[in-house]
Structure 1
Amino acid sequence: MSAPAIQGSESELKYGVPFSESPTLVETSAPSKPAETSNLLRIFLLLLFCLAQFLDVFNISALFSSLPVITSELDMTSGQAIWVISAYQLTFAAFLLLSGRLSDVYNPKYSFVGGTAFLGVLSLGAGFTRQKIGLIVLRGISGLAGAMTIPASLNLIVHLFPEEKEQARAIGVFGSSGAAGNMLGLIIGALLVQYASWPWVFWFATIIILPISVLCIFLIPTKMAEPEPVIKNGEIVKVEKAKGLDIIGVAILTAALILLIFGVTSGTTSGWGTAIVLAPLFISVALFALFFWYETRIPEENAALPPSVWFYPNFAVLFAVALFPYLWWTAGFYLFTSYWQDIIGWQPIISAIHFLPIGMVALPAMPFAGNISRYFGLKRTILFGLVLTLISTGLQTLGANKSHYWPIIFPAFIIGTFGTTLAYANTSIAMFHNTPARMAGTVGAIFNSALQVGAAIGISAVTSIESSVEARSPGGAASFKGREAGFWFAFAIVGVELLAVLIFFRDEKKHNDERQSVDASTTSSLDISKASSLDLEKNTVPLSTTPTLSA
């Protein structure tokens, strides 16, 4: 006689995650608010996490205003200059996956404090560097430090705000701080370059990030997100934490990303048919394939990108959508900043002010963008956001004349930013809601890694397309033809994203019904004596809630 199906917790029934008897590295239940954590402390810690997110984005956006000056003073080519931005993005994106696992395996407090302190010291050194290679190297290492802060922040936020609506609001505020860094980075960077010097762009980050690190040493409760011991068959299982870090996988991914960006950025100067371009591109494709294969060959709990995440509802589509928001913002910043400053002759601060519509929309919209899907559903909300972004990108191809700013570019910024914000916020919230809380660090790493990878590859492709078209255009760099081609490339990317959501994003209710039918067959085989020990109302589950591949 088969055992009856066990009624799981609310989150289990909602997301369709079956029980498994395999141990995991972080075997916790849904996070609960610690009794000793007051509301005032929670809000203040959220503010500190938001400042860290602000600075991570600031470290990229502020350079768009200062990059023309840095390029001139350090005698850099356009290909070398783009590496000042891409080096940070690449290492940030690749090591996010490792730091996500790090924040799940170890206490995320240590990852956050260590990452912020390391980033502050490296930013200080970058400001004193006057060698272009040294600056690029320091930027690459800074990406490692920045990568340690984001998954840890999200992990801590999930534990600080366990209630669903409260958590969505907190994640929305956290996301809005990134939008603020995106916009204010341009303004602050321009002010520092115009009225001080470009090293102050890096020193500004140091002045803010180091005090955050010191404060969090004392303010973050050490036991708030401490991983609980793995329990199997009523006994505590000792887990060797060091083996839970996928260093080999992350190294392969980092090499693949660096070679891909190198090949793309070298295409214009060396020729697309040359070995120096083709060899890195082919090797990078092989390394990507090796990375995904390797992730399936190691234990699930050790993988930087666990294969099972692709089996959560709509996760693959959400990952694809996460590739485009930073790409869209970054492409616009780069193409218009270089045109306005180098061709039209605007001062850095004047150029930065013309991007204000982006911040005016993103800052107030980000905390509330996630609530819109409550009324219209995730699929409709994300599709609407992508349609608005598509329209905006098409309008930006008409930015050749500065007289077009107010009638065309200004409304394009507003429409596109609102659309991108809708897609960004709802993608982030959906990813966390569709995965277990114990994977918050890993999921946060995957989401933010997708943002940075999309931006790094996208800006490299846009730069290469721009340079290639300008080389064949009569007006050269002074014309808008190369930048127009770059915007059409971004238009195509958004169009592909829109079609992917339209075709592959599955209805949530239908998907959950299918997942629950799998749950019923899986949970019916559990031993009743073990099931009786589950305190389902309190979500204290001694068994793993890791989804199986058949889910």
Structure 2
Amino acid sequence: MLVNVRVSLLLFSPSSALLYTSLLTRRSQSSNGTSVAIALPTIGASLHAKAAALQWLVSAYSLSSGCLLLFCGHLADVHGRKRVFVAGSALLAVFTLGCGFVHDEVTLAVLRGLQGIGGAATIPAALGILAHEFPPSSGRARAAAFSSFSAGAPIGGALGMVFGGLVTQLSRYTWRAQFWLSAAIAFAVLVLGIIPKGPDTLPPPRDTRTDWPGAVLSAAGLILLVFVLGQGSGPDILSLLVLSIVLLCIFVLWEFHLETRNRFVASALAYAPPPLLPPSLFARRRGRLGFIYAVALLQFGAFMIWAFWVQLYYQVYIGYSPVRTVIRLVPMFVTGMICNVVVALIVGRVPTLWLIVTGTLTTTVAPLLFALIVPSAPYWAFGFPAAVCSVVGADFLFAAGTIFVADSVAPHEQSVGGGIFQTMTQLGTSFGVTASTIVFNHVQTHWGPRPDALGSYQAAMWTGVGFGGVGTSFALSGSGFF
């Protein structure tokens, strides 16, 4: 009883106002993604956009956010988490509003990418705020806080999908109205982020310089890599692929140099700031932290493959309206909230590996069911169990994983550590959707001009099974670390 009272006092203390703004922005981020996804067929018809362009409306946000999370996490740790949070919220609100006024898919994709900059700033700053407000000594309150933050995804996702579907179908402005609704939420988050007073309480870093070469190399390499995967073919694809790999390799070598001050690589170099991504971070806790990062990439790739293609399957192949599609996906959000409650109750008592393996196995079932789906079968045979299983892995991994990361890094590394975790999830999203789109398009060419061939959707779902299966293998093979 005494423990519950302490948890309640900490969770509802006045000093936690900025914390709850962080939780709201998690809901806003998730809502922004799902509301766009549910409107993809309507956007495609309105702007006369092809499937590849629609894929970029989802990937552009994840790509820009994933490429800048490290850099923004560094800025939050060094210059103040509240400052970065407010700046990111402002960018997100402005560019979300702009999305509702465009008239071509290219401009919309560009603005979606600019939205990702705001997301890249707010999420690691919010995780840093969480880690500071709820230190390891807070015990169950810490687990409850991080689980609440994770629960923002299913709650925000549900609200985004429901209201996005309703607004898209019932408003005279169709898909534009849901962008304006998301912008209103983003402006509300901005206002709430400004209201709490008081300075950021951060441990003073020994060196506040920014690793600009590392930021440029990592962002350029990742952007080129995902662009190549998205294009699939073309005269310059191979050269761009080689260039992206070279840039990423140089980034890794540069980070090793900065962390170790390698005597063999210009040790007297005047410009030697702290590394943007310390390579030793992946070896923390006897390598378990690197293992969590790797599984996060694969797991979120599997989940987003299912989430992306299931909506197109219902609306394009079956012909359901956005509202009817939303109704069939509601169980996934209920399951997501239940998963986060379960994690809050059992984290620290159950080995992390058990949660991860259970989650990856369960989530892999969702794309497997749709890879084997029979369209004439009732919803309860394939659609319902897939919706229930789809989010278990993502929610188990996010809730338990963010706590594990926060416990594994130093106080002045909280936003960077959380930023790396978010980078893995965002890149998993981008890689997963891109890879499945390539598979979808390849299979579709064997079905002639028909855009609704069942085999194409099933092939895309098999890609999700592959991501989930590899992630599960990683989890099982990592048992020696736990």
Give TM-score scaled by structure 2 length: 0.89
Q: Which residue of 1 aligns with 2:140?
A: 165
- Count of residues in Structure 1 that have an aligned counterpart in Structure 2: 457
Report the CA distance between 1:229 and its aligned residue.
6.3
SS at match of 1:222: coil
Q: Which residue of 1 aligns with 2:78?
A: 105
Structure 1 unmatched ranges of 5 or more: 1-32, 231-238, 509-551
Structure 2 unmatched ranges of 5 or more: 1-5, 261-272
Report the CA distance between 1:477 and its aligned residue.
2.8
Residues 370 and 211 from structure 1, CA distance in 2 versus in 1: closer, same or farther, beyond 3 angstroms?
Answer: closer
Report the CA distance between 1:370 and its aligned residue.
4.7
Q: Which residue of 1 aligns with 2:91?
A: 118
Map of 1:523-538 to 2, 5 A cutoff?
none
Deviations 1:286-320 (A, max 9, x none): 22212212222225762221112012020111001
Rounded to whole Å, the distance in 2 between the matches of 1:350 and 1:50 is 29
Map of 1:273-312 to 2, 5 A cutoff?
274-299=234-259, 302-312=274-284
Asked if the contact 2:306–2:464 (Cα under 8 Å) also holds between the matched residues in 1, the reply is no
Rounded to whole Å, the distance in 1 between the matches of 2:245 and 2:345 is 39
Asked if the contact 2:299–2:467 (Cα under 8 Å) also holds between the matched residues in 1, the reply is no
Report the CA distance between 1:501 and its aligned residue.
1.9
Are 2:190 and 1:213 equivalent residues in the alignment? yes
Report the CA distance between 1:337 and its aligned residue.
1.3
Report the CA distance between 1:282 and its aligned residue.
2.3
* Matching residue within 152, 170, 193 for 1:195: 170
* Matching residue within 477, 495, 500 for 2:451: 477
Q: Work out the percentage of aligned pairs sharing the same amino acid.
A: 27
Map of 1:28-177 to 2, 5 A cutoff?
39-162=12-135, 163-177=138-152
Rounded to whole Å, the distance in 1 between the matches of 2:295 and 2:88 is 27
Map of 1:253-292 to 2, 5 A cutoff?
253-267=218-232, 270=233, 274-292=234-252
Are 2:193 and 1:228 equivalent residues in the alignment? no
Q: Which residue of 1 aligns with 2:3?
A: none
Are 2:307 and 1:333 equivalent residues in the alignment? yes
Letter in 2 for 1:112: F
Rounded to whole Å, the distance in 2 between the matches of 1:208 and 1:468 is 39
Rounded to whole Å, the distance in 2 between the matches of 1:322 and 1:167 is 21
Q: Which residue of 2 aligns with 1:391?
A: 365
Which stretch shows the higher mean deviation, 486-495 or 391-400?
Answer: 391-400
Report the CA distance between 1:153 and its aligned residue.
0.8
Report the CA distance between 1:395 and its aligned residue.
1.8
Q: Which residue of 2 aligns with 1:516?
A: none
Asked if the contact 1:65–1:190 (Cα under 8 Å) also holds between the matched residues in 2, the reply is yes
Asked if the contact 2:143–2:347 (Cα under 8 Å) also holds between the matched residues in 1, the reply is no
Q: Which residue of 2 aligns with 1:538?
A: none
SS at match of 2:156: helix
Report the CA distance between 1:170 and its aligned residue.
0.4
Letter in 2 for 1:228: P
Rounded to whole Å, the distance in 1 between the matches of 2:364 and 2:115 is 33
SS at match of 1:275: coil
Rounded to whole Å, the distance in 2 between the matches of 1:332 and 1:133 is 25
Asked if the contact 1:100–1:152 (Cα under 8 Å) also holds between the matched residues in 2, the reply is yes
Which stretch shows the higher mean deviation, 98-107 or 286-295?
Answer: 286-295
Rounded to whole Å, the distance in 1 between the matches of 2:481 and 2:147 is 23
Rounded to whole Å, the distance in 2 between the matches of 1:229 and 1:476 is 59
Residues 420 and 38 from structure 1, CA distance in 2 versus in 1: closer, same or farther, beyond 3 angstroms?
Answer: closer
Rounded to whole Å, the distance in 1 between the matches of 2:239 and 2:198 is 50
Report the CA distance between 1:190 and its aligned residue.
1.1
Residues 145 and 104 from structure 1, CA distance in 2 versus in 1: closer, same or farther, beyond 3 angstroms?
Answer: same
Report the CA distance between 1:137 and its aligned residue.
1.6
Residues 403 and 38 from structure 1, CA distance in 2 versus in 1: closer, same or farther, beyond 3 angstroms?
Answer: closer
Map of 1:419-434 to 2, 5 A cutoff?
419-434=393-408
Rounded to whole Å, the distance in 1 between the matches of 2:374 and 2:348 is 40
Report the CA distance between 1:355 and its aligned residue.
0.6
Q: Which residue of 1 aligns with 2:266?
A: none
Asked if the contact 1:318–1:427 (Cα under 8 Å) also holds between the matched residues in 2, the reply is yes
Asked if the contact 1:126–1:135 (Cα under 8 Å) also holds between the matched residues in 2, the reply is yes
Q: Which residue of 2 aligns with 1:528?
A: none
Are 2:411 and 1:437 equivalent residues in the alignment? yes
Asked if the contact 1:399–1:405 (Cα under 8 Å) also holds between the matched residues in 2, the reply is no
Deviations 1:125-144 (A, max 9, x none): 12112232222222111111
Rounded to whole Å, the distance in 1 between the matches of 2:227 and 2:400 is 32
Structure 1 or 2, whichever has the larger Rg, is: 1
Which stretch shows the higher mean deviation, 354-363 or 39-48?
Answer: 39-48
Residues 283 and 229 from structure 1, CA distance in 2 versus in 1: closer, same or farther, beyond 3 angstroms?
Answer: closer
Asked if the contact 1:184–1:359 (Cα under 8 Å) also holds between the matched residues in 2, the reply is no
Rounded to whole Å, the distance in 2 between the matches of 1:206 and 1:285 is 36
Letter in 1 for 2:140: K
Q: Which has the bigger relative contact order, CA under 8 A and spacing at least 6? A: 1
Asked if the contact 2:150–2:340 (Cα under 8 Å) also holds between the matched residues in 1, the reply is yes
Report the CA distance between 1:68 and its aligned residue.
1.3
Map of 1:304-323 to 2, 5 A cutoff?
304-313=276-285, 314-323=288-297
Asked if the contact 1:261–1:456 (Cα under 8 Å) also holds between the matched residues in 2, the reply is yes
Asked if the contact 1:107–1:227 (Cα under 8 Å) also holds between the matched residues in 2, the reply is no
Report the CA distance between 1:435 and its aligned residue.
1.9
Deviations 1:195-229 (A, max 9, x none): 12212222112212223222322314214x24436
Rounded to whole Å, the distance in 1 between the matches of 2:301 and 2:407 is 24
Are 2:217 and 1:247 equivalent residues in the alignment? no
Report the CA distance between 1:444 and its aligned residue.
0.9
Letter in 2 for 1:41: P
Residues 263 and 487 from structure 1, CA distance in 2 versus in 1: closer, same or farther, beyond 3 angstroms?
Answer: same
Report the CA distance between 1:399 and its aligned residue.
2.6
Rounded to whole Å, the distance in 2 between the matches of 1:359 and 1:440 is 28
Letter in 1 for 2:119: G
Residues 463 and 38 from structure 1, CA distance in 2 versus in 1: closer, same or farther, beyond 3 angstroms?
Answer: closer
* Matching residue within 328, 331, 347 for 1:354: 328
SS at match of 2:451: helix
Report the CA distance between 1:161 and its aligned residue.
1.6
Map of 1:373-522 to 2, 5 A cutoff?
373-473=347-447, 476-508=450-482
Residues 286 and 503 from structure 1, CA distance in 2 versus in 1: closer, same or farther, beyond 3 angstroms?
Answer: same
Report the CA distance between 1:456 and its aligned residue.
0.6
Deviations 1:493-516 (A, max 9, x none): 1111122122234344xxxxxxxx
Report the CA distance between 1:183 and its aligned residue.
2.9
